Amino acid sequence: MIQNVYFKKQKMRDYLDFNKPPFLAVLTCCLCFVLISFTPKKAFVSLFNGKDLDGWVGNKKAYSVEEGLLVINPENGGGGNLYTEKEYSDFHLKFEFLLTPGANNGLGIRAPLEGDAAYAGMELQILDNSAEKYADLHEYQYHGSVYGVIPAKRGFLNPVGKWNSEEVTIKGKKIKVILNGHTILKGNIAKASAGGTLDGKEHPGLTRDKGHIGFLGHGSVVKFRNIEIKEL
């Protein structure tokens, strides 16, 4: 009995001996776990307050706020583009959009404020794929595609008149687009353009590592809401 007590005490001393490498390893792992667990994670922040166009620059005539929605109506002053004041590099963007029949818009990313965002930056198509007038487009011109560079999968847009949700994640040269819960595009812009772009045109914007985010009007009424971003 006394011998058993002795051995138990000895084991406890060994366990509590801070100088033993195994204990230090366990302690280090525990501390790392605690630090990782309590490190604040970046949260999504809103890009559109639902009240005005604060934080945006560009065509504030065609784009306006109606009943808490960001709306582009070409009748108010042409098509034109509306950009974030701030520039972004790597990010996860979420937004919802409502198309009208035959609607055509675009999401500009890493774009400068001047020039055609589809080439000077990058443009992700926002398009009514179901419109008859778009039946003969190139595959890289349909909704969600990196215009002229990487085609997106089709068949996941909600019927015109119903809201769609979209997520765009870009980190370095990798880009992913999720539409209504389905991944419609996942690729590497550098690899996709290494042998030349699909449209055969120059896209200097593919080499940019930061720029503005914008909605690119092409003469159609489109509505947006719940526009949020998380920088990566």
CATH of residue 100: 2.60.120.560
Residues 24 and 118 in one domain: no
Q: Report pLDDT for 18.
A: 46
Give the chain's domain count.
2
* Residue 114 CB coordination number (10 Å): 7
Give the C-alpha separation, 203 to 196, whole Å. 9
Rounded alpha-carbon distances, angstroms, from residue 48 to 71, 182, 225: 12, 24, 8
Residues 20 and 106 in one domain: no
Residues 81 and 7 in one domain: no
Residues 78 and 7 in one domain: no
Question: Exposed, middle or buried: residue 99 (CB in 10 Å: 0-12, 13-18, 19+)?
Answer: buried
Q: Report pLDDT for 6.
A: 45
pTM score over 0.85: no
Q: Report pLDDT for 14.
A: 53
Q: Report pLDDT for 21.
A: 55
Q: Report pLDDT for 42.
A: 81
Q: Report pLDDT for 79.
A: 72
Sequence-distant (6+) residues with CB within 8 A of 175 are: 146, 150, 168, 169, 185, 186, 187, 188, 189
Residues 32 and 112 in one domain: no
* Residue 197 CB coordination number (10 Å): 20
Residues 122 and 106 in one domain: yes
Residues 62 and 94 in one domain: yes
Residues 6 and 94 in one domain: no
Q: Report pLDDT for 121.
A: 98
Give the three-state DSSP class for 40.
Answer: coil
Residues 7 and 64 in one domain: no
Domain extent at residue 7: 2-38
- Given a cut of 70, the residues of the chain with pLDDT beneath it are 1-40, 77-78
Q: Which DSSP symbol is given to 220? A: -
Q: Report pLDDT for 74.
A: 85
Residues 7 and 94 in one domain: no
Residues 171 and 84 in one domain: yes
Question: Exposed, middle or buried: residue 5 (CB in 10 Å: 0-12, 13-18, 19+)?
Answer: exposed
Joined together, the tokens standing for residue 134 give 């778009």
Residues 121 and 52 in one domain: yes
